[in-house]
Chain A
Amino acid sequence: MNLTLRIWRQKDSNAKGQMVDYKVTDISEHMSFLEMMDVLNEQLVNSGEEPVAFDHDCREGICGMCSMYINGEAHGPDRGVTTCQLHMRMFKDGDTITIEPFRATAFPVIKDLVVDRTSFERIQQAGGYISVNTSGNTQDANAIPISKHAADEAMDAATCIGCGACVASCKNSSAMLFVGAKVSQYALLPQGQVEAADRVKNMVAQMDLEGFGNCTNTGACEVECPKGISLDNIARMNRELMKASMS
């Protein structure tokens, strides 16, 4: 198929960016979106132009690096996929595809489609961990009884890959689905109880400090999340913070 790509180009974080149109031809519908971007970049390099910078790593939907906003949606029009899992069969011959970086004040553009998502890492560092004694007497985690329901819910929350699609999709650039998932995966397990109150307080405080917006429960994040993280995790985070603030 032949396509027109309307792509955000920005030289560096201080430069003023703009949309630039490119034509790509003979794109296979079996290609992933990133493979299509590779074709474009090869074309650009061969013609002596600067290739389009974009994030990618595993290309199998688990690292959370690919981050494009495609035709007005994070990771494009398909559901439950990252951009690397998005196939060109989702588009038609002759389409114009608009490709932008994830937009949020807390995700500043570094170059073209690459954004700085280290704000997520700082939120994790503020409390997204458990302290385990590794002196040699560490208890086997499997020896601690955990209900199937709690284990499943914690695992579901833990599947968040921190890609930032929730922030990109939210009209308020809120990070509450990400933080809710990270708070929940520990709040549901006995290992997370010791630091539960400090964890939610510190992670929410860091989230606010990073300049993310507030959640207005539109549910866009849940729809666009490639891992299907549930809004229930935001409700749980709200409960956890209320509980922690009253104790």
Chain B
Amino acid sequence: MSGFFKSSIGRKVAMALSAFFLMFFLLQHFAINILSVFSPELFNEASHFMGTNALVQFALQPVLIFGVVFHFVMGFILEIKNKQARQVAYVKNNGAANSTWFSRNMIWSGVVILAFIVLHFIDFWFPEINTKFIKGDWSGTMAGVDGYRYYEELTHKFVSPIRVGAYVLAFVFLAMHLMHGFTSAFQSMGSTAGRKKTLQNIGKAYAIIIPLGFIFIALYHYLNH
């Protein structure tokens, strides 16, 4: 089986597996974040559970980090190999005649998402790791805030219009990435389901609704701070 993952198809399958995991994570992330719009208390409870549950922190979180890093690193490796497969470019190439812009530019939408993840880590993940693992504070509270701190931290991040703009832009690129990535992952896994109308529609709905939902959350907190 190790030989399988060294083959071009094995690498496709590995990309698809990590993509499925990340798409599931995205759905779960959205489900918790949207709570912040309806109920700050519920959002705080859910965030505290995710932030302190041993299974989430010590089992799922490392898998998530691995999944994110793997998807990006393998994406770049495959892109380099694919570029080597055509060293002389066409003088005239009409890519739009046979494929979507999204499918041809996965690397660029991916680069924007990677830049966003760096920003997102600086905003939320690094401070969270610092609080819990460096300072050893697992209380979920902070001075001057009644109850848990998570809602306060979230709304504080969406004060700057530049940061909100960056988030909105990144989610537009995420939508572009998912427009092709959702159904492509099924094809890579050897399933033709991604080519059927039903799954294509589900894919489009996922690719639009989830990023649009994240954009709504960012704008909601920006306009209500």
Chain A interface residues (CB < 8 Å from chain B): 6, 8, 19, 69, 71-73, 77, 98, 100, 103-106, 169, 171-174, 176, 204-205, 207-208, 211-220, 223-224, 231-232, 234-239, 241-242, 245-246
Contact = CB atoms under 8 A, between A and B. Distances in A.
Interface stretch (B8-16, B25-33, B168-176): B8-16
A105 B87 contact: yes
Given A212-B85, A238-B12, 10 more contacts: A8-B91, A103-B88, A103-B89, A106-B85, A174-B8, A176-B8, A207-B8, A232-B192, A235-B187, A235-B192
10 contacts: A8-B91, A73-B94, A98-B92, A100-B91, A105-B87, A171-B82, A238-B9, A238-B188, A238-B190, A242-B190
B85 A215 contact: no
B8 A204 contact: yes
Contacts of B144: none
B191 A235 contact: yes
B85 A223 contact: no
A9 to B, nearest CB: 12
Interface stretch (B96-104, B131-139, B155-163, B209-217): B96-104
A208 B187 contact: no
Given A105-B84, A216-B106, A231 B187 contact: yes
Contacts of A235: 187, 190-192, 195
Interface string B179-208: 010011001111110010000000000000
Interface size class of B (residues with CB under 8 A): 35 or more
A239 B3 CA distance: 15
B90 interface: yes
Contacts of B98: 73, 169, 218-220, 223-224
B224 interface: no
A234 B189 CA distance: 10
B225 interface: no
Given A213-B82, A218-B100, A171 B95 contact: yes
B90 A69 contact: yes
Between B85, B88, B100, B188, the greatest number of chain A beta carbons within 10 A of the residue's beta carbon is seen for B85
A226 to B, nearest CB: 13
Contact of B184 (A104, A176, A216): A216
Given A105-B86, A217-B187, A242-B13, A171 B94 contact: no
Contact of A218 (B3, B87, B104): B104
A173 B195 contact: no
Contact of A77 (B7, B97, B180, B183): B97
Contact of B180 (A8, A98, A215, A217): A217
Nearest to B105: A171
Contacts of A172: 82, 85-86
B90 A100 contact: yes
Interface in B54-89: 78, 81-82, 84-89
Contacts of A246: 1
Contact of A208 (B7, B94, B100, B190): B7
